[in-house]
C-alpha cells in the first residue's frame, strides 16, 4: 500500500472518531482535540494531489506544514514538529526500510519531546508513541506481521496506561488529581493513527 493511501485511511479514522476524541478532551482539556485534528487531516486529503510524487522528506514536511496551519491548539504544533523532524531524518532517503523507519520514529519522538517539553509518564501522546517505537526496535528482526502486531499492542497498552496517570503537561495538568481516571486524548489519537498504519501495512504485505 502506498504511503499516501495510508494517510487517507488515517484521515478517515480520525474523522470517524473526532467526536469521541473531543469527548475525551472535554473531560480534561478544551473539548476540541478531535475536531481540530480531523480538520487538519481533511485538509491533507483536499491537497493530496500536491503530495503525489514528492520524495519522502518533502512528503512529510508538507504534511507537517498542513497540520501546523490547520490544527488548532497545541496538537497541530506538536504533531507538526514531530513530522518536521521525520522529514529531516529522511533527507536523501529513497527507500523506507525498517532501519530508516526506526530512525524516523526516533526523530518523531525527539521532535514531540522538544515541542511539548514532555517525557514519558506525563499523560501525553508520548505514552502511546514511545512504547510503540520501542516495540518496533525490539521486534525488528521478526516477520512484518509480528512486528506490526507488537507495535500496535504496545501503542494500545501505552494509551490505556494514561488513564491512571496524573497529568503534568497541558491544560489537563490544571485538574491535578482529577485528571486521573481519564485517557489522554492525544494518547488516544496517536493510538488510532498507529493502529490504522499497522492494519493497512498488514493488508499490504
Instruction: List pLDDT tens digits, range 1-43.
Output: 589 999 999 999 999 999 999 999 888 777 889 999 999 999 9
How far is the C-alpha of 153 from the C-alpha of 188, rounded, in Å?
Answer: 13
Q: In angstroms, what CA-CA distances link 138 with 134, 135, 147, 154, 160?
A: 6, 5, 9, 11, 21
Ranges 32-36, 175-179, 201-205: which has the least confidence: 201-205
Tell me what pLDDT residue 102 has. 97
How far is the C-alpha of 203 from the C-alpha of 83, rounded, in Å?
Answer: 24
Instruction: List pLDDT tens digits, range 103-157.
Output: 999 999 999 999 999 999 999 999 999 999 999 999 999 999 999 999 999 999 9
Residue 203 pLDDT more than 70? no
Residue 175 pLDDT more than 80? no
Tell me what pLDDT residue 202 has. 77
Confidence grade of residue 173 (pLDDT, cut at 50, 70, 90): low
Tell me what pLDDT residue 111 has. 97
Residue 73 pLDDT more than 70? yes
Instruction: List pLDDT tens digits, range 78-97.
Output: 999 999 999 999 999 999 99
Q: Would the CA dihedral through 151, 157, 160, 162 be positive or negative?
A: negative
Better-scored residue on pLDDT, 37 or 73: 37
Contact 63, 44 (CB under 8 A): yes
Amino acid at each position: 500500500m502506498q504511503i499516501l493511501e495510508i494517510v487517507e485511511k488515517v484521515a478517515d479514522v480520525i474523522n470517524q472518531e473526532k467526536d469521541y476524541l473531543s469527548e475525551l478532551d472535554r473531560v480534561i482539556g478544551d473539548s476540541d482535540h478531535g475536531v481540530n485534528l480531523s480538520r487538519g487531516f481533511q485538509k491533507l486529503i483536499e491537497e493530496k494531489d500536491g503530495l503525489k510524487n514528492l520524495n519522502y522528506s518533502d512528503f512529510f514536511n508538507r504534511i507537517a506544514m498542513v497540520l501546523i496551519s490547520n490544527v488548532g491548539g497545541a496538537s497541530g504544533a506538536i504533531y507538526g514538529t514531530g513530522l518536521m523532524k521525520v522529514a529531516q531524518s529522511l533527507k536523501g532517503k529513497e527507500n523506507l526500510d525498517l532501519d530508516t523507519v526506526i530512525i524516523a520514529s526516533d526523530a518523531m519522538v525527539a521532535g514531540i519531546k522538544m515541542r511539548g517539553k514532555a517525557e514519558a509518564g506525563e499523560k501525553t501522546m508520548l505514552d502511546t508513541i514511545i512504547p510503540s517505537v520501542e516495540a518496533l526496535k525490539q521486534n525488528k528482526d521478526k516477520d512484518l506481521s509480528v512486528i506490526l502486531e507488537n507495535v500496535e499492542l504496545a501503542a494500545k497498552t501505552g494509551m490505556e496506561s494514561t488513564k491512571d496517570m496524573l497529568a503534568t503537561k497541558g491544560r489537563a495538568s490544571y485538574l491535578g488529581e482529577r485528571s486521573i481516571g481519564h485517557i489522554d486524548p492525544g494518547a488516544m489519537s496517536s493510538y488510532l493513527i498507529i493502529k490504522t498504519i499497522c492494519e493497512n501495512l498488514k493488508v499490504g504485505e
